[in-house]
């Protein structure tokens, strides 16, 4: 799956990616996330520095793709391509190839992380405009998106540690710039949406949660797919059993096609396979739900509970 | 309206219609700044609806220009390009595409300029396709005209109606608009909707000597004198807008505190509503046709069934009548659901147009 991050320069994208990878290494209960050896070493090094409060990852000057694998006993591994764009790609013209790449990446994304920097969101009169300017890229990428899998769409409000105790009071201002967009995402059939207040570094907060939430959508999709398959197998079995007469067997024999019985046997195997796959998926789903329970229910606009902000009057 | 097929949800093709908007007005009348502000307002989302530029570069240009105005008070430079500028916008409800908008910011001088014949030829063709025509009236001139209504033209030549009409190029705009109406009629298309866009409404008090509301009311009421075409039966919204309170003098920079965009999205909402209305009307006409065909078919069926001789031919005809009826039923169903959808969109947007003056059938609608 492709995870694509969208946000302005300095919004905290690279830092978040690093922190999330590092944190997952220390909390492998639900999933183990692994990377290639070199990438792993680099991420661990900057993750350690970050966690100790000794510095942030250096700014990225080109698009980079991190290939991760999320694994867990009993289920098929989830291959993740996590794409980190250079700062500024979101507001560059397409003559700059990076902007075009970003648009292409978004169009192929299976999960989106939209970043807003808490300090800017509250400190700047133009924070609404800054977020608004990112919206067309999303509309272009996801307008009328078909397909069967659900796209998790997470808003990450980063650097909330910098707000200290003022966070509760400032919460409405943090979420307001995303209200119109989240409203649109919420209405779309292809997406699930929620926002997270994130801090990376020594006073980390909600670092693994966005990633786990994305995994939850992946697992839910897999569960859905298996149930759909199970339904189809059962339906085929039912028809084949009903029409299983001697004459039908004879006809199948003459025509050289599988008999109803053979088809039923095949579907039965498939159904047994689906059930076997479903059990561990349900276990993971339960664990994910428990790990994310502290976030509370998603309010209609995707903001965390307790964020008693109102829709912007237009 | 051209319909462009696009792969929609679940792979089925949905028709995304294109609405063409053409803005006519003299150089300096405020077309480009209006566009800029309108885009900024609508791209931020309004009641769950969004507008975005199909082309990311257009989006960056428009938002950069808007940022320069809001941050540094820099107005966009006058359109210097040889040709007019076209934008392709997309109008969505959330992430669902509703309409493509083909927008032409018409290069001011090209209205009459003989040297730009090519541009003009393109405009001619383009006009015939326009679903909505914006006649841009510089608020400065409108204000002076309002003053002439109050004071009388007297000896002051700058207050003469014809002079102001000349300044606004009313005759040219009217000729172009009429051509559009004619072309569309020939092509079997409905008449375009019209917006009389009064820009720079902040200048009205200074130039007219009245307060803003009074000046606007007077302008609206007397508009047929300035712009006689509004009584020709076209549905026309009179829409005063402003980007800010910049005064009557042109400066390249303005006080950022004075940027105060007002009503910039209204004309567009009107264009959209007119589009929805005409779509609803078309569908309702078609529904009536379907109902009439049902009645005719029922009569024929009755006759065939009660016929003494039920020939083989009759039976064939009865079958085909019945299958046609089935086809009409499903056609009617899909039309009805389109009408319902359009009606619900009309409901969502109609508040935005409350209390705005609209000329309909030659008269100011109450
Ligand atoms: N206080 C605080 N600052 C952060 C946090 N994350 C990032 N920053 C700051 O933001 C800067 C830019 O972050 P970076 O991840 O490079 O942003 P990117 O351009 O979006 O990739 C960092 O160098 C830090 O100074 C955070 O969680 N808390
Ligand atoms: N007072 C005032 N002046 C405006 C406003 N909008 C535009 N102007 C002025 O009109 C000038 C020309 O506007 P512009 O949009 O470039 O006209 P165009 O040639 O029709 O595209 C601007 O440079 C401003 O000086 C407004 O809302 N109020
Ligand atoms: Mg970065
Ligand atoms: Mg211009």
Considering only the top CATH level, what class is A2-217+295-310? alpha beta
Q: Is residue B361 part of a domain?
A: no
Our answer on whether the CB atom of B8 is closer than 6 Å to any ligand 2 atom is no
SS3 B72: helix
SS3 B137: strand
Q: Looking at the structure, do residues B252 and B313 belong to the same domain, yes or no? A: no
Residues in B closer than 8 angstroms to A314, CB to CB, are 46-47
Q: Cα B196 to chain center, whole Å?
A: 10
Q: Is residue B366 part of a domain?
A: no
Q: Looking at the structure, do residues B106 and B16 belong to the same domain, yes or no? A: yes
Q: How many Å apart are CA B338 and CA B285, to the nearest integer?
A: 13
Q: Residue A133 has what pLDDT?
A: 92
Return the ligand 1 atom nearest residue A57 CA: 16
Beta carbons of A180 and B11 less than 8 Å apart:
no
Q: Looking at the structure, do residues B175 and B117 belong to the same domain, yes or no? A: yes
Q: Residue A250 has what pLDDT?
A: 83
Domain of residue B188: give its range. Answer: 2-275
**How far off is chain A from B179, nearest CA to CA, in Å?**
35
Q: Residue B11 has what pLDDT?
A: 39
Q: Looking at the structure, do residues B117 and B186 belong to the same domain, yes or no? A: yes
Beta carbons of A140 and B56 less than 8 Å apart:
yes
Of A93, A142, A180, the CB nearest to B44: A180
Q: Residue B287 has what pLDDT?
A: 96
DSSP B351: G
Partner residues linked to A154 by β-bridges: A113, A194
Report phi then psi at B73, rounded to 5.
70, 20
Q: Residue B3 has what pLDDT?
A: 45
Q: Is residue B360 part of a domain?
A: no
Q: Looking at the structure, do residues B159 and B286 belong to the same domain, yes or no? A: no
Q: Is residue B269 part of a domain?
A: yes
Of the candidates B220, B310, B6, the one whose C-alpha atom is nearest the C-alpha of residue A143 is B6
Q: How many Å apart are CA A224 and CA A105, to the nearest integer?
A: 26
Whether the CB of B54 is below 8 Å from some CB of chain A: the reply is: yes
Q: Looking at the structure, do residues B234 and B333 belong to the same domain, yes or no? A: no
Residues in B closer than 8 angstroms to A129, CB to CB, are 40, 44, 63, 66-67, 70
Give the alpha-carbon dihedral of A102, A104, A106, A111, to 10 degrees. Answer: -120
Q: How many Å apart are CA B209 and CA A8, to the nearest integer?
A: 47
Q: Is ipTM over 0.95?
A: no
Q: Which of A141-145, A205-209, B77-81, B220-224 has the lowest mean pLDDT?
A: B77-81
Q: Which two tokens stand for residue A276?
A: 């076997």
> Best mutation site among B33, B87, B143 for ligand 2, i.e. most ligand atoms within 8 A of its Cβ?
B33
What's the predicted TM-score (pTM) here? 0.85
Whether the CB of B187 is below 8 Å from some CB of chain A: the reply is: no
Q: Which two tokens stand for residue A216?
A: 């939850």
Q: How many Å apart are CA B239 and CA B313, to the nearest integer?
A: 63
Residue A27 pLDDT exceeds 60: yes
Q: Looking at the structure, do residues B259 and B321 belong to the same domain, yes or no? A: no
Residue at a domain's end among B275, B303, B337: B275
Q: How many Å apart are CA A180 and CA B45, to the nearest integer?
A: 6
Return the ligand 2 atom nearest residue B34 CA: 15
Residues in B closer than 8 angstroms to A140, CB to CB, are 52, 54, 56
Of A103, A145, A180, the CB nearest to B56: A103
Q: Which of A134-143, A199-208, A241-250, B238-247 has the lowest mean pLDDT?
A: A241-250
Calculate ∠ Cα B29-B33-B37, nearest 5°: 140
Q: Looking at the structure, do residues B203 and B234 belong to the same domain, yes or no? A: yes
Top residue of B95, B100, B261, B351 to mutate, by most chain A CBs within 10 Å, is B95
Calculate ∠ Cα A193-A198-A202, nearest 5°: 160
Q: Looking at the structure, do residues B217 and B338 belong to the same domain, yes or no? A: no
Our answer on whether the CB atom of B242 is closer than 6 Å to any ligand 2 atom is yes
Residue at a domain's end among B258, B275, B292: B275
Range A20-43 burial, b when 16+ CB lie within 10 A, else e: bbbbbeeeeebbebbbeeebbebb
Q: Which two tokens stand for residue A221?
A: 């999709």
Q: How many Å apart are CA A266 and CA B206, to the nearest integer?
A: 85
- Ligand 1 centroid to residue A6 C-alpha, Å: 14
Return the ligand 1 atom nearest residue A16 CA: 15
Beta carbons of B95 and A187 less than 8 Å apart:
yes
Our answer on whether the CB atom of A191 is closer than 6 Å to any ligand 1 atom is no
Q: How many Å apart are CA B161 and CA B159, to the nearest integer?
A: 6
Return the ligand 1 atom nearest residue A9 CA: 19
Q: How many Å apart are CA B292 and CA A281, to the nearest integer?
A: 58
Our answer on whether the CB atom of A195 is closer than 6 Å to any ligand 1 atom is no
Give Cβ neighbours of residue A76 (< 8 Å, ≥ 6 apart). A222
Q: Residue B38 has what pLDDT?
A: 93
Our answer on whether the CB atom of B207 is closer than 6 Å to any ligand 2 atom is no
Beta carbons of B11 and A135 less than 8 Å apart:
no
Residue by residue, pLDDT tens for chain B (366 residues) are 444 434 334 334 457 889 999 999 888 899 989 999 999 989 988 878 899 999 999 999 999 999 999 999 999 876 655 567 889 999 998 888 888 999 988 765 555 555 555 666 777 788 888 999 999 999 999 999 999 999 988 878 777 899 999 999 999 899 989 989 999 999 888 899 999 999 999 999 999 999 999 999 999 999 999 999 999 999 999 999 999 999 998 888 999 999 999 999 999 999 989 988 988 999 999 999 999 999 999 998 888 887 666 677 788 888 899 999 999 999 999 999 999 999 988 888 888 888 899 999 999 987
Q: Is residue B98 part of a domain?
A: yes
Our answer on whether the CB atom of A10 is closer than 6 Å to any ligand 1 atom is yes
Q: Is B135 exposed, middle or buried (0-12, 13-18, 19+ CB in 10 A)?
A: buried
Percent of chain A with pLDDT over 70: 94
> B12 to chain A: nearest residue by CA?
A146
Beta carbons of A144 and B8 less than 8 Å apart:
yes
Of the candidates A313, A290, A3, A307, the one whose C-alpha atom is nearest the C-alpha of residue A154 is A3
Q: Which two tokens stand for residue A12?
A: 């905290």
Q: Looking at the structure, do residues B251 and B284 belong to the same domain, yes or no? A: no
Closest residue by Cα to atom 2, ligand 1, is A159
Number of domains in chain B: 2
Q: Is residue B365 part of a domain?
A: no
Q: Please count the residue pairs, one from chain A and one from chain B, whose beta carbons lie less than 8 angstroms apart.
A: 98
Domain regions of chain A by residue span: 2-217+295-310, 222-287
Residue at a domain's end among B234, B249, B275: B275
Helical H segments across A33-166, by residue range? 37-51, 97-107, 118-123, 127-132, 135-142
Residues in A closer than 8 angstroms to B96, CB to CB, are 143-144, 187-188
Give Cβ neighbours of residue B291 (< 8 Å, ≥ 6 apart). B332
Return the ligand 1 atom nearest residue A115 CA: 20
Q: Residue B159 has what pLDDT?
A: 77
Q: Looking at the structure, do residues B320 and B202 belong to the same domain, yes or no? A: no
- Ligand 2 centroid to residue B32 C-alpha, Å: 7
Q: Which two tokens stand for residue B220?
A: 């609206």
Q: Is residue B158 part of a domain?
A: yes
Q: How many Å apart are CA B90 and CA B4, to the nearest integer?
A: 13
Beta carbons of B43 and A135 less than 8 Å apart:
yes
Q: Looking at the structure, do residues B249 and B289 belong to the same domain, yes or no? A: no
Our answer on whether the CB atom of B73 is closer than 6 Å to any ligand 2 atom is no
Q: How many Å apart are CA B88 and CA B105, to the nearest integer?
A: 11
- The domain that holds B114 is classified in CATH as 3.40.50.300
Give the alpha-carbon dihedral of A36, A41, A42, A47, to 10 degrees. Answer: 120
């Amino acid at each position: 799956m492709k995870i694509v991050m969208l946000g302005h320069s300095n919004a905290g994208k690279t830092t978040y990616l690093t922190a999330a990878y590092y944190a997952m290494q220390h909390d492998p209960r639900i999933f183990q996330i692994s990377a290639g050896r070199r990438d792993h070493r680099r991420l661990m090094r900057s993750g350690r520095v970050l966690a100790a409060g000794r510095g942030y990852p250096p700014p990225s000057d080109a698009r980079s793709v991190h290939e991760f694998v999320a694994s867990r006993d009993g289920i098929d591994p989830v291959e993740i391509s996590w794409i980190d764009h250079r700062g500024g790609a979101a507001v560059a013209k397409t003559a700059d190839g990076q902007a075009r790449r970003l648009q292409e990446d978004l169009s192929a994304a299976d999960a989106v992380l939209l970043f807003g920097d808490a300090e800017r969101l509250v400190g700047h009169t133009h924070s609404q405009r800054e977020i608004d300017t990112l919206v067309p890229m999303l509309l272009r990428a996801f307008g009328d998106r078909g397909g069967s899998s659900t796209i998790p769409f997470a808003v990450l409000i980063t650097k909330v540690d910098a707000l200290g105790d003022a966070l509760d009071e400032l919460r409405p201002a943090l979420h307001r710039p995303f209200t119109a967009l989240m409203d649109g995402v919420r209405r779309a059939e292809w997406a699930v949406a929620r926002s997270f207040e994130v801090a990376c570094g020594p006073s980390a907060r909600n670092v693994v949660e966005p990633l786990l939430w994305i995994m939850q959508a992946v697992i839910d999709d897999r569960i859905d797919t298996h149930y759909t398959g199970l339904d189809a197998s059962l339906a085929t079995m039912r028809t084949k059993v009903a029409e299983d007469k001697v004459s039908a067997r004879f006809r199948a024999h003459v025509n050289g096609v599988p008999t109803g019985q053979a088809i039923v046997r095949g579907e039965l195997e498939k159904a047994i396979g689906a059930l076997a796959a479903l059990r561990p998926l349900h276990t993971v789903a339960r664990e994910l739900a428990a790990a994310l329970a502290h976030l509370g229910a998603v309010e209609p606009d995707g903001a965390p509970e307790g964020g008693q902000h109102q829709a912007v009057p237009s | 309206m051209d319909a462009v097929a696009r792969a929609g949800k679940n792979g089925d093709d949905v028709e995304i219609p294109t609405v063409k908007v053409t803005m006519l007005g003299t150089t300096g009348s405020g077309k480009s700044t209006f566009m800029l502000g309108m885009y900024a307002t609508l791209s931020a989302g309004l009641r769950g609806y969004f507008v975005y530029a199909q082309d990311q570069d257009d989006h960056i240009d428009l938002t950069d220009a808007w940022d320069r105005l809001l941050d540094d008070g820099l107005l966009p430079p006058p359109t210097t390009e040889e040709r007019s500028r076209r934008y392709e916008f997309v109008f969505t409800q959330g992430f669902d595409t509703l309409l493509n908008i083909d927008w032409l910011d018409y290069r001011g001088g090209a209205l009459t300029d003989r040297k730009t014949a090519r541009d003009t030829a393109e405009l001619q063709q383009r006009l015939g396709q326009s679903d909505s025509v914006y006649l841009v009236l510089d608020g400065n001139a409108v204000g002076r005209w309002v003053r002439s209504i109050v004071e009388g033209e007297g000896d002051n030549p700058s207050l003469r109606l014809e002079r102001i009409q000349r300044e606004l190029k009313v005759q040219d705009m009217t000729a172009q608009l009429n051509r559009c109406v004619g072309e569309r009629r020939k092509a079997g298309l409905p008449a375009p909707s019209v917006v009389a866009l009064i820009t720079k409404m902040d200048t009205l008090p200074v130039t007219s000597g009245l307060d803003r509301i009074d000046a606007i009311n007077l302008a609206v009421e007397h508009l047929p004198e300035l712009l006689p075409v509004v009584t020709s039966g076209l549905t026309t919204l009179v829409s005063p807008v402003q980007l800010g309170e910049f005064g009557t003098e042109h400066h390249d920079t303005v006080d950022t505190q004075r940027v105060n965009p007002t009503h910039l999205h209204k004309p567009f909402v009107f264009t959209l509503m007119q589009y929805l209305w005409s779509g609803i009307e078309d569908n309702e006409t078609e529904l009536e046709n379907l109902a009439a065909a049902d009645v005719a078919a029922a009569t024929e069926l009755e006759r065939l069934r009660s016929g003494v001789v039920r020939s083989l031919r009759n039976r064939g005809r009865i079958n085909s009548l019945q299958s046609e009826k089935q086809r009409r039923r499903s056609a009617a169903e899909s039309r009805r659901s389109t009408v319902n959808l359009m009606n619900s969109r009309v409901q969502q947007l109609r508040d935005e147009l409350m209390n705005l003056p609209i000329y309909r059938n030659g008269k100011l609608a109450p």
